[in-house]
Amino acid sequence: MNILVDVGNTSIKWQFREGQAVVRTEVGDLNSLEAQLALRDDLSTATAAVSCVRDEAFARELQTLFTAAGCTSVHFVSSVAEFAGLKNAYSAPDTLGVDRWLALLATRARGHTTSLVIDAGTACTIDVMSQGSHVGGYILPGVCLARESLIANTDKIRFDDTVQASLMPGTTTAACVSSGAWLMTYGAVNEIIRRFPEAAVFLTGGSAKELIALGVEGEWVTDLVFEGLDFWLNGA
């Protein structure tokens, strides 16, 4: 059994796989992951691969949890200069977020050599792979962060309304801010897609479905990091 773990800034996702078959996928915290591991009879032959964007202290806590559960083969993946023919654009390769690196590896595993990975979350990260090489990326505020920044840094922009995603001009302060935030992200994403017309486009993250509904053309995916971890395990 392979156990794939994606540790984000606010939550943890994990997936159990038998070969290529996905047995279970869940989202939670360390306690709920520990409970799931306890339900498995024997983890001595299991292998865990972890993508962790949190600090070393958290990684050590996770390592201890796996060891206590009987899983001693635990690998914390990091970004490197090259893997499976994919070259990292960063001059200090390990400073590229491991989740971004694994998402690119996932598109490589799908057979693409030219792709765009758009992760529209708290921050919107966009990474470009061209002819098998990572050529760089972009990081901009996500929609929610852009809205919150306006509220936090201006005196007269105040609202409590929840507004649906739209690119149309707003007729309330909440709608104006929301439309502006969506238009900023939508415009940036579409401009980058325009610059790389041959790229396969993948969208993930909390705002991905809304961007597609607004007209961004690409494939919505939820488990790119897991796919990248599985690819890493098979090629490591």
Active-site annotation holds for 99:
yes
Of the candidates 6, 99, 119, 127, the residue annotated as catalytic is 99
Burial of 35 (0-12, 13-18, 19+ CB in 10 A): exposed
Evaluate whether 116 touches 124 at the Cβ level (below 8 Å): no
Q: Smallest Cα–Cα separation from 51: which of 88, 87, 1, 15?
A: 15
Best CA proximity match to 144, nearest among 107, 112, 184: 184
C-beta separation of 53 from 7 below 8 A: yes
* Residues tagged active-site: 99
